[in-house]
Every structure is written in C-alpha cells, then in structure tokens.
Amino acid sequence: MLSYRHAFHAGNHADVLKHLVLVQLSRYLGRKEKAFWYIDTHAGAGSYALDSAPATRLAEHRQGIARLWGRKDLPPAVADYLELVRGINPGATLQVYPGSPDFALSTMRAQDRLRLFELHSRDVLRLREHFERFGTRAIVEHGDGFAGLKALLPPPPRRALVLIDPAYEEKHDYERVIHALKDCLQRFPGGTYLLWYPQLTRLEAHELPPRLKRLPTSSWLQVTLRVRTPAADGFGMHGSGLFIINPPWTLQTTLAEVMPWLVEALRIDEGAGFTIDSQVA
C-alpha cells in the first residue's frame, strides 16, 4: 500500500463515479442544519496536476474526466460534480483534478469538519500543505486510516460521512475493509459509509461485493460502472463499484438517471455497463 500514489490514476473513470456520488452524499447531509464530519481513511495528496509526470505516465484522466469536460448534455448530478472540478480550473483547459477531500470541502458548511488520514510520507506532506489554511476545520493525520476510524467514531455531532477507498494492492485490504465496516457499524451504526472497490479479475475482488451485502446493516446501496470487457490476460481494472451504507433516499433515483448516460460517456468497448442494487430498511 505504501507504493500506491493516486496521482497516477487521478480523474479516471473510477474517480468520476466515486466523486459524483460523494458530492451527492455530502449535499444531502448538508440539508440539515446540524454539523457533520467528513472522515477520509486514504485521503491522498489533496489535488493532482494532470500535466505532472505521474499523471501523464498513464493519462487515465483522458478516459475519465476529460471525456466529460466539453459536454453540454450533462445530467444535473454530473453537472454539479463537473462544476466543482471547473472551480479549481479557472481557464477553459482541464489542468488539475481535485482529491476526495476537496470535493467534500467544496460541498460542506462552516460548521462541518474534515478528518483526513494518509499513510504515504510524501503525500501526507502535500495534504497538510493543501489544507493548512483551514486550521482545525481540516485536520490531517499521518497514519493508518483504518486504525484512525476507531478513535473518531462516533463523532461529536453524531453525524458523519466516511469514505474508505484503499489501494487494494495487497490482498489483506479486502479483509480490512470488511473488518473496518463491521467495527464502524458497532461504534456508529447511524453513519453514512462510502466504500470504493475495483472491479478486477482476481478472486478477492469477485468475493468482496457479496460479502459487503452480508454486513450487519439493513440499509445499503451498491452501484457499479464497467467501462470495458475484462481483459483476456486478466490485467487491469475494467470497472469499479461503490457500496453505500445508510444512503439517502434520493440517491437511487439520481443514479438511475445518471448511470446510463455515464456508461455511454465513458465506455471503451461493448462490455461497458452498470448495475444498481439496494436494500432499504
């Protein structure tokens, strides 16, 4: 996990799905006056220059955010998400892609707080520099976000949006997300939890979604976006998924409107598609 740098993947199709949903969740929590916390277990470096060496090495944003940049037919939820990306790109050219904490902060109020964890030694320095002007409103910790969750839940306002999106470079990350969510639900069953996971050909990736559905919660929503047919050699990520615990009642309707459009916008081949599944108490 320490070798993972999100700068190599910033703005790809998985980021589009993850951040579009993150914006919807944060906006919904902000409808009530009472404060909430945003907790990010793998917060990254803050923002990512798309002309940097890491970003241009794979140029994954070209198959993600760049495909949306010039579109005029955006569904409302996609337009909302894209407007936040445009907010840190003052010109007409797409140059910088925000990290998850930036999307959260852009949709939060003065009374809300961010608690950010990052384990990579260089990325956490950039993250601290990125958020230092916000003082105690955005606290950055150099450490394991899985372990850090235990000290933060339940949060003082008893309202929180928790994003968990490890690199999944190591097999034990699949076990850790299951254990982390079980612990979260014991400590703070009323929180909103957003888990990102990759769609890969490896066994652990196939087994994760059904394991998530067996977690001790009665309200969840799962959405997946596949942009291509899985490679014959098993290499690479052909899509990604999100598992949301305690989703807002509005989210499924929004995704039903957005996902067909998103598939057409981001498809690489005829293997592209999406799924939406849910259980509501």
Catalytic site residue from 40, 112, 123, 165: 165
The HSE-up count of residue 53 (CA atoms within 13 Å, CB side) is 0
Q: What tokens appear for 58 in the block?
A: 């794979």
Helix (H, G, I), strand (E, B) or coil at 202: coil
277 is catalytic: no
CATH topology of domain 6-200: Rossmann fold (3.40.50)
Token readout for 105 is 């902060």
Q: Report the SS3 class of residue 53.
A: helix
CB atoms within 10 A of CB 185: 18
Single pTM value for the model: 0.96
Chain segment 97-106, per-residue pLDDT in tens: 999 999 999 9
30/33 Cα distance (integer angstroms): 7
| pLDDT for residue 281 | 76
More confident residue, 8 or 50: 50
pLDDT band at residue 55 using 50, 70 and 90 as cut-offs = confident
